[in-house]
Amino acid sequence: MAKRTDVRPVVTLRSTAGTGFSYVTTKNRRTQPDRLVLRKFDPIAREHVDFRETR
């Protein structure tokens, strides 16, 4: 059975520190309809910053 990619799309999380670093993850579109914001480690800035979902 194939995975339902319309419910859990792959999203890119881009650093707000302006370094250009990004993470790739999936999210549940039914429970998280808004853009995702996570606080993760940016190895270029060497600190924890907000990562926002890009389109």
Annotate 14-25 with b (16+ C-beta within 10 A) or e (fewer).
bbebeeebeeee
Indicate the pLDDT class of residue 2, thresholds 50, 70 and 90. low
pLDDT tens per residue across span 26-50: 999 999 999 999 999 999 999 999 9
Q: What is the mean pLDDT of the segment spanning 3-17?
A: 88
- What's 10-54's CATH class? mainly beta
Domain boundaries, the chain: 10-54
pLDDT at 7: 85
